[in-house]
A and B are shown apart, each in its own frame.
Chain A
Amino acid sequence: MKLKVVSKILDANERIAQENRKIFDDKKIFVINLMSSPGAGKTSLLEQTIKGLKDFAKIGVIEGDITGTDDAIRIDALNVPVVQINTGGGCHLDASMIQETLMELPIDDINLLFIENVGNLVCPAEFYLGEDIKAMVLSITEGHDKPLKYPMMFQQSKAVVINKIDLAPYLDVDMEKIRRDILSLNPTVAKFEISCKTGQGINQWTEWIKTNCLCRKH
Protein backbone atom coordinates (compact mmCIF):
# COMPACT_ATOMS: atom_id res chain seq x y z
CA MET A 1 0.00 0.00 0.00
CA LYS A 2 1.23 3.45 -0.83
CA LEU A 3 0.71 6.24 1.66
CA LYS A 4 0.86 9.84 0.59
CA VAL A 5 2.33 11.53 3.60
CA VAL A 6 3.64 15.00 2.83
CA SER A 7 4.93 16.17 6.15
CA LYS A 8 8.07 17.82 7.35
CA ILE A 9 10.84 15.51 8.43
CA LEU A 10 11.56 17.76 11.39
CA ASP A 11 7.94 17.94 12.47
CA ALA A 12 8.63 16.74 16.00
CA ASN A 13 11.26 19.38 16.63
CA GLU A 14 9.05 22.05 15.14
CA ARG A 15 6.18 21.14 17.46
CA ILE A 16 8.28 21.34 20.59
CA ALA A 17 9.82 24.60 19.37
CA GLN A 18 6.32 26.07 19.10
CA GLU A 19 5.62 25.01 22.68
CA ASN A 20 8.81 26.75 23.77
CA ARG A 21 7.75 29.78 21.81
CA LYS A 22 4.48 29.91 23.68
CA ILE A 23 6.26 29.76 27.04
CA PHE A 24 8.57 32.59 25.96
CA ASP A 25 5.64 34.71 24.83
CA ASP A 26 3.61 34.04 27.98
CA LYS A 27 6.55 34.96 30.17
CA LYS A 28 7.45 37.91 27.93
CA ILE A 29 10.96 36.67 27.34
CA PHE A 30 12.77 37.77 24.20
CA VAL A 31 15.01 34.95 22.99
CA ILE A 32 18.13 35.24 20.86
CA ASN A 33 19.67 32.10 19.37
CA LEU A 34 23.37 32.87 18.97
CA MET A 35 25.22 30.87 16.33
CA SER A 36 28.75 30.78 14.94
CA SER A 37 31.62 28.46 14.15
CA PRO A 38 33.70 27.35 17.16
CA GLY A 39 35.79 30.16 18.61
CA ALA A 40 34.21 33.04 16.70
CA GLY A 41 33.47 34.76 19.99
CA LYS A 42 29.93 33.89 21.11
CA THR A 43 30.81 33.64 24.78
CA SER A 44 32.99 36.75 24.59
CA LEU A 45 30.12 38.62 22.97
CA LEU A 46 27.76 37.43 25.69
CA GLU A 47 30.15 38.65 28.38
CA GLN A 48 30.33 42.08 26.76
CA THR A 49 26.59 42.18 26.15
CA ILE A 50 25.76 41.27 29.73
CA LYS A 51 28.06 44.03 31.00
CA GLY A 52 26.40 46.52 28.68
CA LEU A 53 22.80 45.54 29.32
CA LYS A 54 22.81 44.49 32.94
CA ASP A 55 20.95 47.59 34.10
CA PHE A 56 18.39 47.41 31.29
CA ALA A 57 17.42 43.76 31.10
CA LYS A 58 16.98 40.69 33.22
CA ILE A 59 19.25 38.40 31.30
CA GLY A 60 19.45 34.62 31.33
CA VAL A 61 21.73 32.34 29.35
CA ILE A 62 21.59 28.77 28.06
CA GLU A 63 25.02 27.49 27.07
CA GLY A 64 25.19 24.72 24.49
CA ASP A 65 28.40 22.80 24.08
CA ILE A 66 29.40 19.34 23.01
CA THR A 67 31.05 18.88 26.37
CA GLY A 68 32.38 20.92 29.31
CA THR A 69 31.16 23.79 31.44
CA ASP A 70 33.79 26.46 30.73
CA ASP A 71 31.36 28.82 29.04
CA ALA A 72 28.75 28.53 31.81
CA ILE A 73 31.44 29.31 34.38
CA ARG A 74 32.40 32.47 32.45
CA ILE A 75 28.76 33.62 32.41
CA ASP A 76 28.15 32.63 36.02
CA ALA A 77 31.01 34.92 37.03
CA LEU A 78 28.85 37.85 35.83
CA ASN A 79 26.02 36.88 38.19
CA VAL A 80 23.54 35.98 35.50
CA PRO A 81 21.44 32.81 35.68
CA VAL A 82 22.97 30.26 33.34
CA VAL A 83 22.37 26.60 32.51
CA GLN A 84 24.77 24.44 30.57
CA ILE A 85 23.55 21.86 28.05
CA ASN A 86 26.05 19.23 26.92
CA THR A 87 24.97 17.61 23.68
CA GLY A 88 27.45 14.76 24.10
CA GLY A 89 28.70 14.89 20.53
CA GLY A 90 25.58 16.41 18.98
CA CYS A 91 26.44 19.30 16.70
CA HIS A 92 23.45 21.51 17.53
CA LEU A 93 20.81 22.17 20.14
CA ASP A 94 17.27 21.03 19.50
CA ALA A 95 13.95 22.22 20.84
CA SER A 96 13.51 19.44 23.39
CA MET A 97 16.90 20.17 24.98
CA ILE A 98 15.76 23.75 25.46
CA GLN A 99 12.42 22.68 26.90
CA GLU A 100 14.06 20.44 29.50
CA THR A 101 16.46 23.19 30.45
CA LEU A 102 13.83 25.86 30.96
CA MET A 103 12.78 24.30 34.23
CA GLU A 104 16.20 25.03 35.63
CA LEU A 105 16.07 28.72 34.83
CA PRO A 106 14.19 31.36 36.86
CA ILE A 107 12.04 32.19 33.85
CA ASP A 108 9.74 34.51 35.79
CA ASP A 109 12.77 36.70 36.41
CA ILE A 110 14.17 36.85 32.89
CA ASN A 111 13.13 39.05 29.98
CA LEU A 112 16.08 38.49 27.67
CA LEU A 113 17.35 34.97 27.10
CA PHE A 114 20.45 34.16 25.09
CA ILE A 115 20.96 30.65 23.80
CA GLU A 116 24.57 30.03 22.82
CA ASN A 117 24.30 27.27 20.25
CA VAL A 118 26.96 24.67 19.59
CA GLY A 119 29.75 26.08 17.42
CA ASN A 120 28.86 25.03 13.89
CA LEU A 121 27.91 26.90 10.71
CA VAL A 122 25.56 24.33 9.23
CA CYS A 123 23.30 22.46 11.57
CA PRO A 124 21.96 25.02 14.05
CA ALA A 125 20.13 26.77 11.23
CA GLU A 126 17.95 23.68 10.66
CA PHE A 127 16.65 23.34 14.17
CA TYR A 128 14.20 25.94 15.36
CA LEU A 129 14.30 26.26 19.14
CA GLY A 130 11.40 28.66 19.59
CA GLU A 131 13.59 31.77 19.60
CA ASP A 132 12.47 35.21 18.47
CA ILE A 133 15.55 35.81 16.38
CA LYS A 134 18.74 34.16 15.31
CA ALA A 135 21.93 36.18 15.48
CA MET A 136 25.26 35.03 14.21
CA VAL A 137 28.84 35.87 14.98
CA LEU A 138 31.44 35.74 12.22
CA SER A 139 35.03 36.41 13.21
CA ILE A 140 37.21 37.88 10.51
CA THR A 141 39.89 35.26 11.17
CA GLU A 142 37.57 32.73 9.51
CA GLY A 143 38.08 34.38 6.13
CA HIS A 144 35.91 36.35 3.75
CA ASP A 145 34.53 33.33 1.88
CA LYS A 146 32.27 32.18 4.72
CA PRO A 147 29.01 34.01 3.93
CA LEU A 148 28.76 32.35 0.51
CA LYS A 149 29.83 28.97 1.85
CA TYR A 150 27.19 28.97 4.57
CA PRO A 151 24.40 31.10 3.09
CA MET A 152 21.62 29.61 5.18
CA MET A 153 23.00 30.87 8.47
CA PHE A 154 23.38 34.37 7.10
CA GLN A 155 19.95 34.39 5.52
CA GLN A 156 18.15 33.28 8.64
CA SER A 157 19.83 35.73 10.99
CA LYS A 158 18.27 39.05 11.93
CA ALA A 159 21.67 40.29 13.06
CA VAL A 160 25.24 39.46 12.07
CA VAL A 161 28.07 40.45 14.34
CA ILE A 162 31.45 40.62 12.62
CA ASN A 163 33.91 40.09 15.46
CA LYS A 164 37.66 40.41 16.08
CA ILE A 165 38.04 43.53 13.94
CA ASP A 166 41.00 44.45 16.17
CA LEU A 167 42.86 41.76 14.19
CA ALA A 168 42.11 43.27 10.76
CA PRO A 169 45.56 44.86 10.37
CA TYR A 170 47.20 41.45 10.69
CA LEU A 171 45.02 39.58 8.23
CA ASP A 172 44.53 39.49 4.48
CA VAL A 173 40.80 39.63 4.85
CA ASP A 174 38.59 41.47 2.40
CA MET A 175 36.16 43.31 4.70
CA GLU A 176 34.34 44.84 1.74
CA LYS A 177 33.58 41.39 0.37
CA ILE A 178 32.27 40.21 3.72
CA ARG A 179 29.97 43.23 3.98
CA ARG A 180 28.81 42.93 0.39
CA ASP A 181 28.11 39.19 0.49
CA ILE A 182 26.23 39.41 3.78
CA LEU A 183 24.02 42.19 2.46
CA SER A 184 23.43 40.37 -0.81
CA LEU A 185 22.32 37.27 1.03
CA ASN A 186 20.23 39.21 3.48
CA PRO A 187 19.47 42.82 2.50
CA THR A 188 17.62 43.66 5.72
CA VAL A 189 20.09 42.19 8.22
CA ALA A 190 21.45 44.36 11.04
CA LYS A 191 25.22 44.26 10.74
CA PHE A 192 27.74 45.11 13.44
CA GLU A 193 31.52 45.29 13.32
CA ILE A 194 32.96 44.81 16.73
CA SER A 195 35.87 43.70 18.84
CA CYS A 196 35.06 41.87 22.03
CA LYS A 197 38.65 42.45 23.00
CA THR A 198 38.77 46.25 22.75
CA GLY A 199 35.03 46.82 23.14
CA GLN A 200 34.82 48.67 19.83
CA GLY A 201 31.31 48.60 18.36
CA ILE A 202 29.72 46.80 21.32
CA ASN A 203 27.64 49.84 22.07
CA GLN A 204 25.83 49.77 18.70
CA TRP A 205 25.01 46.12 19.26
CA THR A 206 23.61 46.62 22.76
CA GLU A 207 21.64 49.68 21.64
CA TRP A 208 20.17 47.62 18.82
CA ILE A 209 19.08 44.98 21.32
CA LYS A 210 17.50 47.65 23.49
CA THR A 211 15.38 49.04 20.68
CA ASN A 212 14.67 45.86 18.72
CA CYS A 213 14.43 43.20 21.38
CA LEU A 214 13.67 44.64 24.79
CA CYS A 215 10.74 46.79 23.72
CA ARG A 216 9.09 44.06 21.75
CA LYS A 217 7.37 42.04 24.44
CA HIS A 218 6.03 44.64 26.87
Chain B
Amino acid sequence: MHEASIALSLLEKVIEECINNGCSIIKSVKIEIGRASGVMPDALSFVFNAIKADTIASSASLYINEKMLTAMCNKCHKEFSTEENYIFECPHCNSNSFNILSGKELNIIELEVE
Protein backbone atom coordinates (compact mmCIF):
# COMPACT_ATOMS: atom_id res chain seq x y z
CA MET B 1 0.00 0.00 0.00
CA HIS B 2 1.88 3.05 -1.22
CA GLU B 3 -0.63 5.36 0.45
CA ALA B 4 1.47 4.73 3.57
CA SER B 5 4.60 6.30 2.18
CA ILE B 6 2.62 9.06 0.48
CA ALA B 7 0.92 9.89 3.79
CA LEU B 8 4.32 10.01 5.44
CA SER B 9 5.67 12.36 2.77
CA LEU B 10 2.59 14.50 3.22
CA LEU B 11 3.01 14.65 6.98
CA GLU B 12 6.70 15.53 6.73
CA LYS B 13 5.97 18.19 4.14
CA VAL B 14 3.20 19.94 6.09
CA ILE B 15 5.22 19.92 9.31
CA GLU B 16 8.13 21.48 7.46
CA GLU B 17 5.87 24.16 5.93
CA CYS B 18 4.33 24.93 9.32
CA ILE B 19 7.67 25.33 11.06
CA ASN B 20 9.12 27.37 8.21
CA ASN B 21 6.29 29.80 8.73
CA GLY B 22 7.03 30.17 12.40
CA CYS B 23 3.99 28.22 13.58
CA SER B 24 3.70 25.23 15.87
CA ILE B 25 0.27 23.66 15.38
CA ILE B 26 -1.38 22.38 12.22
CA LYS B 27 -5.15 22.59 12.37
CA SER B 28 -6.09 21.46 8.90
CA VAL B 29 -4.56 20.27 5.65
CA LYS B 30 -6.23 20.63 2.30
CA ILE B 31 -4.97 18.51 -0.60
CA GLU B 32 -6.12 17.54 -4.06
CA ILE B 33 -5.91 14.06 -5.51
CA GLY B 34 -6.59 13.21 -9.11
CA ARG B 35 -8.64 10.19 -10.10
CA ALA B 36 -5.78 8.98 -12.24
CA SER B 37 -3.06 9.57 -9.67
CA GLY B 38 -3.18 6.01 -8.44
CA VAL B 39 -3.86 7.09 -4.85
CA MET B 40 -6.96 6.03 -2.94
CA PRO B 41 -8.25 8.93 -0.81
CA ASP B 42 -9.71 6.69 1.91
CA ALA B 43 -6.51 4.77 2.35
CA LEU B 44 -4.51 7.99 2.43
CA SER B 45 -6.79 9.52 5.09
CA PHE B 46 -6.64 6.39 7.14
CA VAL B 47 -2.85 6.33 7.23
CA PHE B 48 -2.50 10.08 7.72
CA ASN B 49 -4.78 9.98 10.75
CA ALA B 50 -2.89 7.04 12.17
CA ILE B 51 0.59 8.56 11.90
CA LYS B 52 -0.18 12.17 12.84
CA ALA B 53 -0.38 11.34 16.57
CA ASP B 54 2.50 12.75 18.61
CA THR B 55 3.30 15.37 15.97
CA ILE B 56 2.33 19.02 15.67
CA ALA B 57 -0.34 17.77 13.26
CA SER B 58 -1.99 15.50 15.82
CA SER B 59 -5.28 17.38 15.67
CA ALA B 60 -5.13 18.28 11.99
CA SER B 61 -8.12 17.41 9.83
CA LEU B 62 -7.33 16.26 6.34
CA TYR B 63 -9.60 17.54 3.55
CA ILE B 64 -9.27 15.82 0.21
CA ASN B 65 -10.50 17.41 -2.96
CA GLU B 66 -10.88 14.70 -5.58
CA LYS B 67 -10.21 15.81 -9.15
CA MET B 68 -11.94 14.12 -12.05
CA LEU B 69 -9.97 13.12 -15.09
CA THR B 70 -10.56 15.79 -17.73
CA ALA B 71 -8.97 16.44 -21.09
CA MET B 72 -9.11 18.74 -24.09
CA CYS B 73 -9.32 17.19 -27.55
CA ASN B 74 -6.65 18.33 -29.97
CA LYS B 75 -8.89 17.71 -32.96
CA CYS B 76 -12.36 19.02 -32.11
CA HIS B 77 -11.11 21.18 -29.21
CA LYS B 78 -13.91 20.10 -26.90
CA GLU B 79 -13.32 19.48 -23.24
CA PHE B 80 -14.47 16.19 -21.73
CA SER B 81 -14.25 14.25 -18.49
CA THR B 82 -14.67 10.68 -17.30
CA GLU B 83 -15.41 8.71 -14.14
CA GLU B 84 -12.76 6.19 -15.19
CA ASN B 85 -9.09 6.54 -14.36
CA TYR B 86 -8.01 6.48 -17.99
CA ILE B 87 -9.01 8.02 -21.32
CA PHE B 88 -8.74 6.22 -24.65
CA GLU B 89 -10.22 8.76 -27.01
CA CYS B 90 -12.29 11.88 -27.30
CA PRO B 91 -15.97 10.91 -26.79
CA HIS B 92 -17.03 13.54 -29.34
CA CYS B 93 -14.86 12.75 -32.34
CA ASN B 94 -12.93 9.60 -31.26
CA SER B 95 -9.56 11.26 -31.72
CA ASN B 96 -6.66 9.72 -29.79
CA SER B 97 -4.91 13.03 -29.51
CA PHE B 98 -5.79 14.98 -26.38
CA ASN B 99 -4.19 16.81 -23.49
CA ILE B 100 -4.94 15.80 -19.93
CA LEU B 101 -6.13 18.90 -18.04
CA SER B 102 -6.65 17.39 -14.61
CA GLY B 103 -6.77 14.06 -12.83
CA LYS B 104 -3.10 13.44 -12.06
CA GLU B 105 -2.85 15.78 -9.04
CA LEU B 106 -1.14 14.84 -5.83
CA ASN B 107 -0.85 18.31 -4.34
CA ILE B 108 -1.01 20.19 -1.08
CA ILE B 109 -3.25 23.24 -1.48
CA GLU B 110 -3.64 24.91 1.86
CA LEU B 111 -2.73 24.60 5.52
CA GLU B 112 -4.33 26.14 8.53
CA VAL B 113 -1.69 26.72 11.19
CA GLU B 114 -1.18 28.55 14.47
Contacts and interface: CB of A to CB of B under 8 A. Distances in A.
A1 B114 CA distance: 6
Contacts of A123: 1-2, 5, 38
B47 interface: no
B109 A13 contact: no
B113 A1 contact: yes
A1 B112 contact: yes
A90 interface: yes
B71 to A, nearest CB: 13
A77 interface: no
Contacts of A1: 21, 23, 112-114
A1 to B, nearest CB: 6
The secondary-structure label for the interface of chain B is mixed
Nearest to B10: A9
Nearest to A3: B111
A126 B10 CA distance: 14
B111 A5 contact: yes
A77 to B, nearest CB: 31
A125 B23 contact: no
A187 interface: yes
B85 interface: yes
B2 A122 contact: yes
B111 A9 contact: no
**Residue among A4, A5, A90, A91 facing the most chain B CB atoms (10 A cut-off):** A5
B112 A2 contact: yes
B17 A5 contact: yes
For the residues of A in contact with B, the DSSP-based class is mixed
* Interface size class of chain A, counting residues whose CB lies under 8 Å from the partner chain: 20 to 34
Interface in B22-53: 23, 31, 36-39
A148 interface: yes
Contact of A2 (B5, B13, B107, B110): B110
A176 B63 CA distance: 42
Contacts of A151: 36, 85-86
6 smallest CB-CB distances across A and B, nearest first, come from A123-B2, A151-B86, A3-B111, A184-B88, A5-B108, A9-B10
Interface of B: 1-2, 5-6, 9-10, 12-14, 17-18, 21, 23, 31, 36-39, 85-86, 88-89, 96, 106-114
15 contacts: A1-B112, A3-B110, A3-B112, A5-B14, A5-B108, A5-B109, A8-B106, A10-B106, A12-B9, A13-B9, A91-B2, A126-B38, A126-B39, A152-B36, A185-B88
